[in-house]
Amino acid sequence: GRKVLIVYAHQEPKSLNGSLKRVAVEELSKQGCSVMVSDLYAMQFEPRATRNDIVGCLHNSEEFNYGVETREAYKRGGLSDDVIEEQKKVQEADLLIFQFPLYWFSMPAIMKGWMDRVLVQGFAHEFPNCYDSGLLKDKLALFSFTTGGSKEMYAKGGISGDIRYLLWPMQHGIMHFCGVKVLAPHICFAPEYVSEKERKKMLIAWAQRLKTLWKEEPINCSPEWYFK
């Protein structure tokens, strides 16, 4: 069976994000997938990249360089337990689903901290092995998120600009950089401003998409997809 890791960042289980996460767990489990969830707020996941992520002596105790130190610690198995735990989940997963509300045109800080701390050099990328030759090249990722603004606001001519512009740093700069193939995002626009009936429709649409998810082709991972 396929393995899925859902990295979930919302404080309230009853929220639409909580419901989207639950739908994904139910639907994918029904398909025989093994589903792991990293519920970042419930785990009180530490978002800050600090010296505490390295166990034991530093590679260079004179001047702290987080990138170098975590790369060296990864090689010798000297990263902190919480980081190692998340890396194991990533390693096992065929698909990574990131479920979150859009904050300030990006992901919540706790999820960005997960990216910063988990996707270290040597584990997820190792120059020149990045983009199509990134170290996580056998994996798929999908960003599923809610917005505060309407679909019109995030259209090409809208006040917020094309939603695809916002996906460039997340999908391309992080996932594609690490070699991960990216499926089209799943976006629920402005759930706070629609009826309960509309929100239910959003959950049904997500469940429907998940039924045929494994047949989907990844997006064309080029600047054209984002900026054409």
pLDDT in tens for each of the 228 residues of the chain? 999 999 999 999 999 999 999 999 999 999 999 999 999 999 999 999 999 999 999 999 999 999 999 999 999 999 999 999 999 999 999 999 999 999 999 999 999 999 999 999 999 999 999 999 999 999 999 999 999 999 999 999 999 999 999 999 999 999 999 999 999 999 999 999 999 999 999 999 999 999 999 999 999 989 999 998
Look at residue 69 in the predicted model and tell me its pLDDT: 98
Which tokens is 131 given? 């983009």
Read off φ and ψ for residue 59, nearest 5 degrees: -65, -40
Look at residue 228 in the predicted model and tell me its pLDDT: 83
**pLDDT digits over 101-113, tens only?**
999 999 999 999 9
CA torsion 51→52→57→60, rounded to 10°?
-10
* Site of tokens 């989207």: 20
Look at residue 221 in the predicted model and tell me its pLDDT: 87
Which stretch of DSSP H or E encloses residue 35?
strand 34-39
